[in-house]
Each structure stands twice: as structure tokens, then as C-alpha cells.
Amino acid sequence: MAQASKNHDGGKYTVGVDVGGTFTDFFCSHNDGRSQSCKTPTTHYDLSVGFMKGMSLLARQNDQTIAAFLARVASVRYSTTVGTNALIERSGPKLGLITTAGFEDTIFIGRGRSWADGLGWQEGRDQARIQKPEPLIRPDMVVGVRQRMDYSGKIISPLRKEDVLAKLQELVDKGAQGFVVSLLWSFINPEHERLIKEIIEQEYPEDYLGAMPVILSSDISPKSGEYARTMTTIVNGYIHGVMAEGLNKLGNELRDGGFRKPLTLVHNTGGTKKASRTRAVLTHNAGPVAGLHGSAVLGNLTGDENIVFTDMGGTSFDIGLIEDGEIKAHDFLPVIDRWRTNIPAIEVKSIGAGGGSIAWLNGLMGNAIEIGPQSAGSMPGPVCYDQGGTEPTVSDADLVLGLYNPENYLGGEMLLDEDLARKAIQEKIAGPLGITPEEAAYRIRRLVDARMGQQVFNEVALKGHDPRTFVVLACGGAGGAHACGFGAFIGAKKIIAPHQSSVFGAYGASTMPIKEIWDKSYSLKLFRWVDQSYLSELEGFNNIVAELKDLATRDLRLEGYCEDQMHFKLELNMRYGSQYNMTKVHASRLSLESTEDVKKICDNFTRLYGEIYSPEATFPAGGINVEDFSLTASVASTFKLPVALDMAGAEPDSAAKRDSRPIYWSPQKGFEDTPVYDYGQLLPGNKISGPAILELPETTYVVEPGWGFTMDAFRNCIMEQGVK
């Protein structure tokens, strides 16, 4: 014990944390390339309980007390679901919205498809009964103030302080606990929004009303699109208070334990920042984005450039793409819960298909088996957890089929009850269908595999790629157990189940850089169709970029970084003439010095547009506009990549084979005696022909019949169809 602690003296750790619906995952990377990981059940009643339990487990793995361990932690990268939960549960504060008079109904009118935003395909098709979501701010909590600016930011009608005070008092009398301000054209000129904030803070200082946040749309989302801009600000304001409370408690727990650094949050834009510098809305879906970022890092190690990232956890199945070694797909109008926003989030699709997804019979479809989207979560969890669950889940089916060892789940930390799982499947599925529990479990497994395979196929094919040419990365606690199943549905030739697959979101968080995106809407005609000339007045373009760079530099300096450590990337949303859809173009330089620089941007746009829509669709003569500026500011990650290990022979050591147990592979074969291997005893280069079970402390890899396994130089599980 003492010697182990001595070896760690002076070492520094980075801890990535991913809070899931069922488990909270932890990944600890050392500055010498070593790592540990663990999982704890997510404690939804108080996330700090499960969080501190996981940190204690990491400390124990490093043979240290929690205080000694936290003293050596250089950074905690935390992806949180606190904000998302507040939206789902509608547990946020009572907010008041201040907008331009005459536009009080904007968020209630919404967009043409706002009634279906955030719904699954089944609910979206039920148009007879579908309803718009209950608004986050009630109509009686929306007030309009008399003021107006035009499209250029020129004040047409000035803001009157007396009017603001009257409307403000109205909201306070109705119990407002925070204020959201979203005025017309404020993304061009924020003067009136800032004046309203100043009036509120003067009239109701903190020592009078307490800490009541004032959230401005010009700070949160300075972009065109009145509905999306307002809803982005409302969502941010709604989850702001809940997150602040939860993160303050978590920060206090860490400080009491000996951690002296600021907590860092993972963003859905692909980076991390201190919690105090984070816009709350950017934490939505951060865990899957962290996993996707980790996929790019892993692909760089293994030499795979085209990867479809999948993560099958307890509640959901996430899908994202790495193309040519990069994350290219972004969702510029992402739906958060039921609300359309305009944050520049990385695109990761999710469906309700996880180990905890509930299997049920759809009486309207002739008692067809359905999976999800309801989930058993972590409490009570699947029936086999013996915590009060009564509905059969995918994990229950896998256990009945023999794929999991009930006495070695989570390394023996959690015992599973196979009898309870079989009884639930018999009562809810097998009995009504007149089949055995094993056949019902087999159907549940194959159905969820088919659903996941179809979603993966759609995600890759609809982006113009052949799914068979992509390497499948199978992550999540249940990913390795189902990889061959859903991989077969897309014709996957190679599947990688990473050594860190069960905690891959936490692994990805550890690899992420310090980064944030600053954006702003501002329309400029780079090429005028009237006289076929390029923009000659470059000041407007350069001023916008300089403004964004100043904001980014200020934030990163507050993070403790110097300007020579910062990297900036400018991207522009561009379009032809009066077209609606935008194309994002990377600008090779931050400022324009000549008309030739303008021409290069326009030529780059035309080239990219032609690649997407075909060269025949390009039409430069119709004019080329830039509508949005997006500046990414980042500091490179210090994550230490692992070193490739020496390859051993193909034959596993005899110590690696634990035993064998009967596995139900199909109704035709029934149970078949199948070898079980201890993954920790296997060596790089070892090969195993399926069927086989590979057990790790935190997950299980299932090599189905017809598939072969190889361990690569980084201890990843490589599964290939037809390879022996």
C-alpha cells in the first residue's frame, strides 16, 4: 500500500465524469498514460451522492485516501444531466419574460412544426391527439415594453424606464423568480436589453430580492430568428438556477474532500469550460458529445477515419459520425426536450433503446413486442436488480439468455436475480404470447438489435455514405454485449469495442480541450448580384470578428490561459442571394485585408456548395451573403495518449479462460455451452472464434456465432464477421 502510494506521488490526474440515466461513469487518466475507471448507480435524488462514491472508488483503486487523491486531481470534467432533468420534470423556477410590446405571443405561436418538436415518430404521427408542450413560461408571466429598433440596430422608439418599472412590478407581484429579456433585433444592438437589466438590478438589488437572475438573449444567443433565440434564452434561464444549486453542492463536496480546482463542465459544442463561465444551455446532451469526441481520439490511434460512434447505456442508444477523422455534423437548431433552440451543438442522435428499456406488448398491433421508449432507469432499474422493478427490460432478457454472469455484474458489486427476470418476462411477454421465457428474451434482444441497426443505417446512409464502409465503435455498458447483433443489420465488417467502452463518455470528457464557440448574426453581401462586385468595405466584417475574439480572449484569460495558448477558428454561415438554407464555410483567416480575401471566401463557398448539392446547383451570379459569424476559441488538450503494447501470439493463455456456461443463441439451437474468458487476462494479438463471452469488471463483450475476436495493441476488442 505504501509503495503504491509512493509511486503516485507527484502524479496528476484528469477525471472525466458522465452522468447517465442508470449509471454515473468515471475515467481517471494519469499524466503518464495509465488509467482507471468505475461506475456507480446514478442517484437522481442527489447526484452528488453517486458522484462522491465514484471518486472514492477511484481513490481506492489508486491506493489513496479521498483527500490525497483529490489533492492530485488537476481537472474534473463533468457532463451533467441536471438541466435536462429540470426540463423533463418541469422543476425549474417561475420566470418572467420581457419582450417587445406586440410580440408577447411569439413563443406560444411557435414555428410551423413546434407541435411535433422533440416527439418520437409514433407520437408525431398521432396528429388527432397531439398537443403543443406546456410552456416553460405561462402567458400571464409575459410582458411587453414599448421600444423598437430596426434591422440595422437604429433606435426607432426609445425605451422608457417608467414602462419597464411598471411591467417589472407586474411580474414581481405574480411571483417571478428570475427574468428573461428578449427584444426584437437585440442581436444587432443590445442597448435596450442591457438597459432593462440595469434597471432591474437597480430597483431590486441582490440584498433586497436575493439572487434573481436576469438572462439576456443578446448574451445567450445573439442570432437572428426570433422564436429560436427567445426559446434558447428561456431554456437557459429555466435550467440556470437548478444547475447553479446542484453544482454548488457538488463543488462544496469536492472542496470539503480536498479538491482545490474549479469544476469544469463538458459542452455540447465539443469542449469544456469552468462552470462559472458556462452558459447552462450548452450542457444539454454533453455526455454523448464527449463520447463522440473520444471516438475521434481513438480513431486517430487505430488509424480509422470513418467511424460510426454508438453508445448503448441503460436508458438510450446514441449515434454520431466521424468522417475523415473529424466531427463534421452539427445541429444548428437542436431540440432540447420540446423546444427548438439555436445553439451550435454537435449532432448526436438518440433513441430510447438501452439495457433498461422496457419490453411491452402493443395490443393495438396484435400483441407485438415493443421496446421502450420507457426505461426502468437506475431506481428501481431492471427487474433483475431486485430493487422493486416489475417491468421486463433488455438487461433482463440478456440475463435470461445467459449472456451475463449474475454473480459478476459490475465486478461482483451488484448481484443479479435471474429468477426474478425470468418471472417478469414470463408474466408480461412469454405467457400472453404462448412461448417460453427464453424465446421471449431472444425476441426482445433481436428486436432491440434491429431497431438500433436501423437507426445506425439511417444515420450513415442519409448523410450520403455507405454504412458498410464505416467502422462501428460499440460503447456504453451494454454496447459490447449487443455490438454483433446490431452490427449485422448494417453489414458492418469491423466493430471496435474500446477497452474503456463502458465508461466511454467519461473517457471522451478526459480527452476534450478547453473550448467555446462565440457566434453572432450579422448580414453582409460579400458578392453583390446587382453590379457583380465583391465587398470593398471590410470594416464591418472585421469589427464583428474582433468583437467575438475579444469576448473569447476575455473568457479564456479568466480560465488562466495566455493568448499565445489560444487557437481561433472562424466559420461563416453563407447562402446564395435569397436562399433560406445556410452552408457553413471555414474562413482561412480571421480578418479581411483585401478584396482578394473576400473572393477566396466566396470561391470556397461555391466549391463546398457544389460538393453538397452538385456543381450544377451553384449560382454565384445570384449574390453571396454571409449571415452568421462563428468563432471557436480553444486551448489544446493535455490528455496523454496510451502507448501501443507488444503483440503476443494468437492463442490466449490458459489462465484467460474462466469456464463455460450455457447460452441461448437461437430457438433452433437452444442453449449451447459457450466458453467464457477473463478479458483482463487476454493479451494484444490474442484471437478467439465465436461464440464466446468476454467478461470485464464493468461490462461484457459478446462474440456471437460467425464472428471472431482479436485484441489490438491498445487492448481494444476487435470483432469481425466471418473471421476465425
pLDDT above 80 for 203 = yes
Q: How far apart (Å, rounded) are the C-alpha atoms in residues 678 and 193?
A: 61
Q: How far apart (Å, rounded) are the C-alpha atoms in residues 176 and 685?
A: 63
Lowest mean pLDDT, pick from 287-291, 349-353, 423-427, 691-695: 349-353
What mean pLDDT do residues 655-663 have? 92
What mean pLDDT do residues 174-179 have? 93
pLDDT score recorded for residue 5: 35
- Judged on CB neighbours under 10 Å (0-12, 13-18, 19+), 346 is buried
Cell numbers standing for residue 718:
476487435
Q: How far is CA 106 from CA 101, 152, 227, 579, 584, in A?
A: 11, 21, 6, 24, 28
Provide CB contacts within 8 A for 351, sequence distance 6+.
Answer: 316, 317, 372, 373, 451, 452, 455
pLDDT score recorded for residue 666: 92
Strand, coil or helix: 412: helix
pLDDT score recorded for residue 240: 86
State the DSSP string of 562-611.
-GGG-EEEEEEEEEETT----EEEEESSSS--SHHHHHHHHHHHHHHHHH
State the DSSP string of 250-314.
HHHHHHHHT--SPPEEE-TTS-EEEGGG--GGGGTTHHHHHHHHHHHHHHHHHT--SEEEEEE-S
pLDDT in tens, 46-74: 888 999 999 999 999 999 999 999 999 98
Q: Which residue, 629, 715, 546, is CA-closest to 34?
A: 715
Strand, coil or helix: 703: strand
Contact yes or no for 132/114 (Cβ under 8 A)? yes
pLDDT above 90 for 20 = no
What mean pLDDT do residues 93-107 have? 95
Strands 23-30 and 35-41, bridge-based pairing: antiparallel
Contact yes or no for 251/55 (Cβ under 8 A)? no
State the DSSP string of 661-692.
EEEEEETTTEEEEEEEEEGGG--TT-EEESSE
pLDDT score recorded for residue 208: 59
* Winning range, highest mean pLDDT, from 245-249, 371-375, 477-481: 477-481
Give the gyration radius of the chain's Cα atoms. 27
Contact yes or no for 637/512 (Cβ under 8 A)? yes
Q: How far apart (Å, rounded) are the C-alpha atoms in residues 577 and 406?
A: 63
pLDDT score recorded for residue 7: 36
pLDDT above 80 for 211 = no
- Decide whether 2-85+245-283 matches 302-354+448-511 in CATH topology: yes
Q: How far apart are the first and last CA of the chain?
A: 43
pLDDT above 70: percentage of residues in the chain? 97
pLDDT above 60 for 497 = yes
Provide CB contacts within 8 A for 388, sequence distance 6+.
Answer: 380
The CA-CA-CA angle for residues 293, 289, 694, to 5°, reads 70
Q: How far apart (Å, rounded) are the C-alpha atoms in residues 351 and 320?
A: 12
Please give the CATH architecture assigned to the domain spanning 514-635. Answer: 2-Layer Sandwich (3.30)
> Which residue shows C-alpha cell 451570379?
621
Q: Is the peptide bond before 133 cis (omega within 30 degrees of 0)?
A: no
What mean pLDDT do residues 591-615 have? 93
Q: How far apart (Å, rounded) are the C-alpha atoms in residues 39 and 504?
A: 11
State the DSSP string of 69-134.
HHHTEEEEEEE--HHHHHHHHT-S--EEEEEETT-TTHHHH--TTTTTTT--HHHHH-TTT--PPP
- Residue 550 parent element (H or E): helix 539-558
- Per domain, the residue ranges of the chain are 2-85+245-283, 94-238, 302-354+448-511, 360-447, 514-635, 654-707
pLDDT in tens, 288-319: 999 999 999 999 999 999 999 999 988 889 99
Q: How far apart (Å, rounded) are the C-alpha atoms in residues 482 and 477?
A: 10
Q: Which residue, 335, 330, 388, 389, is CA-closest to 357?
A: 389
Q: How far apart (Å, rounded) are the C-alpha atoms in residues 271 and 97?
A: 30
Taking each helix axis as running N to C, give the angle between helix 47-61 and helix 226-257, from 0 to 180 degrees, rounded to the nearest 10: 50
CATH superfamily for domain 302-354+448-511: ATPase, nucleotide binding domain (3.30.420.40)
Contact yes or no for 28/41 (Cβ under 8 A)? no
What mean pLDDT do residues 363-379 have? 80
Q: How many Cα atoms within 13 Å fall on the side-chain side of residue 384?
A: 28
pLDDT score recorded for residue 207: 63
pLDDT score recorded for residue 209: 52
**88: number of Cβ within 10 Å:** 11
pLDDT in tens, 542-598: 999 999 999 999 989 888 889 899 999 999 999 998 788 889 999 989 999 999 999
Q: How far apart (Å, rounded) are the C-alpha atoms in residues 657 and 693?
A: 10
Contact yes or no for 587/654 (Cβ under 8 A)? no
Confidence band, pLDDT 50/70/90 cuts, at residue 199: very high
pLDDT in tens, 427-477: 999 999 999 999 999 999 999 999 999 999 999 998 889 999 999 999 998
pLDDT score recorded for residue 11: 58
pLDDT in tens, 620-640: 999 999 999 999 999 988 887
User: Looking at this protein, which amino acid is placed at residue 153?
Assistant: G
pLDDT above 70 for 210 = no
Cell numbers standing for residue 141:
408571466
> Which residue shows C-alpha cell 436508458?
315
pLDDT score recorded for residue 28: 93
* Residue 289 phi, psi (nearest 5): -65, -40
Which CATH number is correct for 2-85+245-283, 3.40.640.10, 3.30.750.210, 3.30.420.40, 3.40.50.300? 3.30.420.40
Lowest mean pLDDT, pick from 87-91, 545-549, 581-585, 690-694: 87-91
Selected residue with higher pLDDT from 205 and 37? 37
> Which residue shows C-alpha cell 438589488?
205
pLDDT score recorded for residue 2: 33
pLDDT above 90 for 676 = yes
Q: Percent helix, strand and coil across the chain, each rounded to 5?
A: 40, 25, 35
Contact yes or no for 165/203 (Cβ under 8 A)? yes
pLDDT score recorded for residue 278: 86
pLDDT above 80 for 127 = no
- Residue 475 parent element (H or E): strand 471-475
Q: How far apart (Å, rounded) are the C-alpha atoms in residues 173 and 585?
A: 48
Beta bridge partners of 631: 518, 570
- Residue 549 parent element (H or E): helix 539-558
Confidence band, pLDDT 50/70/90 cuts, at residue 8: very low
pLDDT score recorded for residue 126: 72
Task: Tell whether the torsion through CA atoms of 454, 458, 459 and 460 is positive or negative.
Answer: positive
Q: How far apart (Å, rounded) are the C-alpha atoms in residues 596 and 436?
A: 73
Confidence band, pLDDT 50/70/90 cuts, at residue 372: confident
The mean of the pLDDT values for the chain is 89
Q: Which residue, 415, 422, 432, 442, is CA-closest to 367?
A: 432
Q: How far apart (Å, rounded) are the C-alpha atoms in residues 291 and 310?
A: 9
Q: How far apart (Å, rounded) are the C-alpha atoms in residues 474 and 463?
A: 20
pLDDT score recorded for residue 130: 80
Confidence band, pLDDT 50/70/90 cuts, at residue 121: low
pTM of the complete model: 0.89
pLDDT above 90: percentage of residues in the chain? 62
